[in-house]
Amino acid sequence: MSGLKLRNVRKSFGTLEVIKGVDLDIEDKQFVVFVGPSGCGKSTLLRMIAGLEEITSGELTIGEKRMNDVDPAQRGIAMVFQSYALYPHMTVRENMGFALRFAGKPKDEIARRVEEAARILELGALLDRKPGQLSGGQRQRVAIGRAIVRHPDVFLFDEPLSNLDAELRVHMRIELARLHKELQTTIIYVTHDQVEAMTLADKIVVLRDGLVEQDGTPLELYDDPSNHFVAGFIGSPK
């Protein structure tokens, strides 16, 4: 990869335009956080990057390659959802290997990648358990593991911690920061949690009604929010 770019990206559902011309530059290995009120288009934007939602107009590129019409499985992007449905009848090992098996990867390669993800996520002791025998935090780690085994260039997270209790959220936030360091990949992360945004992000993108209101480092937005709306989201006193 060498950078992910959005140029005048728009999305309409019927006559309703929900993404209204977004320009964005994301560098390799950046941890980018999207924040903004409910309904402003965060999930839609993420789903368009993942290829789960068609781009109505504008351009998505990764490196020099136009991605608009590339199959989701070929984009080098893996998405972790808020409601991470694991297969209840499969073990952790099988859950993590499933997509690779589906893609026809050889058995030893799958085993190696699952072991690697389990080490990174400290799930090694739990590989033979089923989801019903795991805590919420452990299940969330398995969901992340399913993305890691695919060795994506870009991870997309859509409010991955919002179903966890406060204590676990703090723990997982630290885990995510460590994960980003270890994997050295690009992460785009949606949250409505100001503390998550401020502590995890290299770059925060504040969205409002289908547009980028402001983007910058946490410090830039905190010190110099362009208006009250941004200040409110960042928790800046301005």
The contact set with ligand ADP (CB under 6 A) reads 13, 18, 36, 38-44
Rg of the chain's alpha carbons, rounded to an integer?
18
The three-state secondary structure class of 15 is coil
Q: Of 44 and 95, which has the nearer Cβ to ligand ADP?
A: 44
CA distance 14 to 203: 32
Select the binding partner of residue 173 from Mg ion, ligand ADP, none (C-beta < 5 to 8 A, by kind): none
Binding to Mg ion (CB under 5 A) within 107-166 occurs at: none
The three-state secondary structure class of 225 is coil
Query: What does the per-residue mask of binding to Mg ion show for 16-45, with x meaning CB under 5 A?
Result: ---------------------------x--
Which residue in the block uniquely carries the two structure tokens 């400290």? 122
Number of residues this chain uses to bind Mg ion (CB under 5 A):
1
Q: Are 120 and 144 spatial neighbours (Cβ–Cβ below 8 Å)?
A: no
Query: Which of 190, 71, 218 shows the shortest CA–CA distance to 176?
Result: 190
Q: Of 43 and 95, which has the nearer Cβ to Mg ion?
A: 43
Taking the complex as a whole, how short is the minimal distance between the CB of residue 40 and ligand ADP, in angstroms?
4
Select the binding partner of residue 63 from ligand ADP, Mg ion, none (C-beta < 5 to 8 A, by kind): none
Task: Give the pairing of strands 16-26 and 154-158.
Answer: unpaired
Residue 185 interacting with Mg ion (CB under 5 A): no
Q: Of 1 and 18, which has the nearer Cβ to ligand ADP?
A: 18
Residue 95 interacting with Mg ion (CB under 5 A): no
Q: Are 10 and 57 spatial neighbours (Cβ–Cβ below 8 Å)?
A: yes
Measured at CB, which residue is nearest to Mg ion?
43
Query: Which of 78, 70, 82, 73 shows the shortest CA–CA distance to 149?
Result: 78
Taking the complex as a whole, how short is the minimal distance between the CB of residue 37 and ligand ADP, in angstroms?
7
Q: Are 223 and 42 spatial neighbours (Cβ–Cβ below 8 Å)?
A: no
Select the binding partner of residue 41 from ligand ADP, Mg ion, none (C-beta < 5 to 8 A, by kind): ligand ADP
> Under the rule (CB under 5 A), what is the footprint of Mg ion?
43
